[in-house]
Amino acid sequence: MAIKVTRAETNVSSNSSERERLEREISKLCRYIGRSPWVFHVNSGSCNGCDIEIIAALTPRYDAERFGVKLVGTPRHADILLVTGPVTDQSLERVKLVYEQTPDPKVVIAVGACPTGGSVFFESPFTNAPLDKHIPVDVFVPGCPPRPEAILYGVVLGLQKLIERIEGGKR
Each residue of 27-39: pLDDT tens digit? Answer: 777 777 777 788 9
pLDDT tens across 67-122, in order?
778 888 999 999 899 999 899 889 999 999 999 999 988 999 999 998 988 888 88
C-alpha span between 63 and 83 (Å, rounded): 20
Q: Where does the pLDDT of residue 171 fall: very low under 50, low under 70, confident under 90, or very high at 90 and above?
A: very low
**Sequence letter at residue 48:** N
Is 97 in a helix, a strand, or coil?
helix
Check: CB of residue 91 under 8 Å from CB of residue 128.
no
In the chain the first and final C-alpha atoms are separated, in Å, by: 20
Q: β-pairing, 139-141 with 107-111?
A: parallel
Number of H helices, E strands in the chain: 6, 6
Beta bridge partners of residue 71, listed in sequence order: 39
Domain-wise residue ranges, the chain: 16-168
CATH of region 16-168: 3.40.50.12280
Could you tell me the pTM of the whole model?
0.83
Residue 124 makes CB contacts below 8 A (sequence gap 6+) with 86, 118
Closest CA to 137 of 102, 161, 109: 109
C-alpha span between 88 and 129 (Å, rounded): 8
CA dihedral sign, ordered 45, 129, 98, 36: positive
**pLDDT at residue 8 tops 70:** no
Q: Does an H or E element contain 114, and which?
A: helix 113-117
**pLDDT at residue 4 tops 80:** no
